[in-house]
Structure 1
């Protein structure tokens, strides 16, 4: 459901023809809409209007291709359509809604620019399902809450759902604030992105509580530096999160993650038996709201190479 609000005061440039366009022109090309905005399965059965078409080369000027990579791969063969915009009254961020088509696939995205019209983030909102037993629904409501819903059914007629709720925060990211599901739990092995990196230094190694709650420490490129990856998944999925980065030694056997553009500060204290992690400043951008990276992790024996 999209309700358009037309403005007669300003005439938007044709962003597909005018090469001298800026971010402001790009945003103005999306007509203002009222909330809620919702993309259900029946939406994707409708033909898009050519008047809303945007060249993929224009989209790439203002929105990173990485936003669309998982679904579209290369965007040059995709068709994009502008579906509206909404500017938050209090905080000023601007939400753009656009759809993309590639062959038989169709997707809806929400893209966010800050009040200064700087691109901040974006995410897949909904998509056309190729499975008749699965439907997707995505929306932004009047509270500026993004809800993504997947409904599915199996041969027995039992219905399943998986709901994720997000909000945009002042750090320029969409934060997951709620997950609900009655889907059967399928255990998956957690991918450790630094698993194969060298761990020859004394403190390097794997520290764990269990298979889903662990810290991987690997050699750093300089003295007093180490690489880390931490993953937490506990309390029945109500506390999940992960973070990868560099840590710097601040005193003997104590290291900190303290990145200039990230309000999160983590302290890693090593001992002969393991590692203690403590959040010195909240790391909410990297984990669930009612959650923490805090914890003690036991050091695992290094596997001998054959």
Structure 2
């Protein structure tokens, strides 16, 4: 009888410990990658995340703590997708695997919201739970006519689709990627239906003040824009860079806070990578040059460099 009571007590302790561990994971305080993954709804390939699903509001109580995201993924996810000061919230959506057992990649779909924008990120980890890479694969902004969503077929082929409503007609651009075992996304092809309008990058600093003489919008035709806005003090400036090269096959996007290093010079140093950008302002133009490695924010075959011409300021109505 005593042995039975001991066994029951031991079982009770075990169940209590398991329940406690599960509660920790459910409360946003996971201790292992498997516990962290358990916060995401399990699913399997093929998988699709429609834009209207991404737009659905999720209770704030289900949001992940930023420290948890940093622990198991990276704190740089969506860092440059929202304006400085905009509070980001992270929500776990879905979890599934890609590849075979020898080249297994664990995939997590993370929703990040800020202001009136919701974005989806595909976060990739190896079979041991080590974070490899993340990529933006979905976007919905209230009031915007452009949406982005993605799907992955049973073979692990990723398709990112951007739809743009122009003059009551919808144009579609589809980018097809292969998911490597190292977490890298390799562009396979780009498809489009009809004359696709240049993709509209969401400019998170567009409405911020531009009183500094160097502040304004600089463009490179229809393929790129650099927005410069006033910083928090005279020594800093806010920037947003978005470009599309090689007929849309290579794109880049980055925003952050730069520091003036001279009268017409500035630089930016990324805190989470070796990425650096050097800014040279001149009369009516701005040239940038990439230093270090900014591969996390652009395609593999293009760089943050080039000359951009300053746009004339719109005349104020009297």
TM-score, normalised by the number of residues in structure 2: 0.55
SS of residue paired to 1:261: coil
Residue of structure 2 equivalent to 1:138: 152
Which residue is equivalent to 2:273? 262
- In structure 1, the gaps of 5 or more residues are 1-12, 31-36, 42-55, 68-73, 99-107, 126-135, 151-159
In structure 1, the partner of 2:257 is 246
1:15/1:58 contact within 8 Å kept: no
Indicate the residue corresponding to 1:112 in structure 2.
124
- In the TM superposition, what are the counterparts of 1:1-306 in structure 2 within 5 Å? 18-21=22-25, 22-24=30-32, 25-26=34-35, 38-39=45-46, 60=64, 95-96=106-107, 111-113=123-125, 121=134, 137-139=151-153, 147-148=158-159, 162-165=174-177, 167=179, 175=185, 177-188=187-198, 189-306=200-317
Aligned-pair RMSD on alpha carbons? 5.0
The count of aligned residue pairs is 237
Runs in 1 of length 4+ with deviation above 4 angstroms?
Answer: 13-17, 27-30, 56-64, 80-90, 108-111, 113-125, 166-170, 173-176
Question: SS at the partner of 2:35?
Answer: helix
Task: Judge conservation of contact 1:247–1:257 (CA < 8 Å) in 2.
Answer: yes
Q: 1:18 to 1:224 in 2, by over 3 A?
A: closer
Q: Is the 8 A contact 1:95 1:110 kept in 2?
A: no
Change (3 A) 1:162 1:14: farther
How far residue 244 of structure 1 moved from its aligned partner, in angstroms, is: 1.0
Q: Cα distance 1:113–1:57, how it changes in 2: closer, same or farther (>3 A)?
A: farther
Query: SS at the partner of 2:296?
Result: helix
SS, match of residue 217 in structure 2: strand
SS in 2 for 1:19: helix
**TM-score, length basis structure 1:** 0.57
The answer to whether the 8 Å contact 2:175/2:187 transfers is no
Give the deviation of 1:163 after TM superposition: 3.9
Aligned to 1:50: none
Q: CA deviation at 1:238?
A: 1.7
Quote the offset at 1:260 in angstroms: 1.6
Instruction: State the distance in 2 between where 1:239 and 1:109 align.
Output: 18
